[in-house]
Amino acid sequence: MQKIPLGIEPAAESLGLELRPGEAHYRAYVGPPDDYDLVAAMALGLLTILGLRQQHRLLDIGCGSLRIGRLLIPYLNRGGYTGLEPNEWLVHEGIQSEVGQDLIDIKQPRFVYSDSASELLAEGGKYDYLLAQSIFSHCGMDLLDQWLAQASGLLGESGALVATYISSDTDTERRGWIYPECVVFTSKTLDALARRHGLEFVPLDWHHPRQSWVVFAKPGFEADWYRDRRLSWNACFDRFNDRRQVHADV
């Protein structure tokens, strides 16, 4: 067996740590490169506590360079992950630098290179979870409204869109896609838009370094269990254990 000599360091990765958000590097383009790791951990932790399991189908809206996709693709069963992204180069660089072609071959995620879900809506497939991490912080009111309408059409009756936005006491007056600058909304506006599309707006107590997490829930999504308690792994497991007990009793 070939021995790897001690003291030989692997070649350095290009992490883009010196770059500003929005610059043309696969990590920097999607946000501050210094917390590329933390944003991924934060999102996977939240999704799993909200009930994401291996058999679910998830659509990652604006998946970028697979910052979060690189954790979701192995977690979900084969074909469970779909990433939608208008900037194709980001997905290619994410696969090349973070995921590897082998994982793509094994897990067979799907990628849709578009700034809208119209192709997916036309196919009629339904998703258990949609993720929009740092997407609504770059959408004017018109685009936010369009994304919530599309989300409503893509989700199954017990599905949920898990998203971030920048909370403020005013709403942006800008329209369309705004990048890399950010825009803000009031929770009242998001609540009203959600209702218009048959979704329930449920703010979440889950720390984000710059934004706020929220669930836009379909009527059948179980949002009640965390309305009056902190989101935690233990609380999440209490629910699973209650169900397991039911199975064990049968």
Ligand X SMILES: C[S@@+](CC[C@H](N)C(=O)[O-])C[C@H]1O[C@@H](n2cnc3c(N)ncnc32)[C@H](O)[C@@H]1O
Which residue type does 175 have? R
Would you say 86 or 220 has its CB closer to ligand X?
86
What is the distance between the alpha carbons of residues 95 and 1, in angstroms, rounded to a whole number? 30
Would you say 85 or 128 has its CB closer to ligand X?
85
Q: How far is CA 158 from CA 126, 152, 242, in A?
A: 10, 11, 19
- Residue 244 Cβ vs ligand X, minimum distance, rounded to whole Å: 33
- Residue 193 Cβ vs ligand X, minimum distance, rounded to whole Å: 16
Q: Which runs of consecutive H residues, i.e. helices, occur in the chain?
A: 36-49, 69-75, 88-94, 101-107, 118-123, 141-154, 187-196, 233-249
Would you say 118 or 245 has its CB closer to ligand X?
118
- Residue 90 Cβ vs ligand X, minimum distance, rounded to whole Å: 5
Would you say 133 or 189 has its CB closer to ligand X?
133
User: The dihedral of CA 73, 24, 19, 182: what is its sign?
Assistant: negative
- Residue 121 Cβ vs ligand X, minimum distance, rounded to whole Å: 14
CA angle 135, 86, 69 (to 5 degrees): 65
Pairing of the two strands 127-132 and 110-112: unpaired
Would you say 65 or 189 has its CB closer to ligand X?
65
- Residue 184 Cβ vs ligand X, minimum distance, rounded to whole Å: 15
Integer Rg of the chain from CA: 19
Would you say 85 or 93 has its CB closer to ligand X?
85
- Residue 61 Cβ vs ligand X, minimum distance, rounded to whole Å: 6
Pairing of the two strands 212-217 and 200-203: antiparallel
Residues that bind ligand X (CB under 6 A): 30-31, 39, 61-64, 67-68, 85-87, 90, 115, 133-135, 177
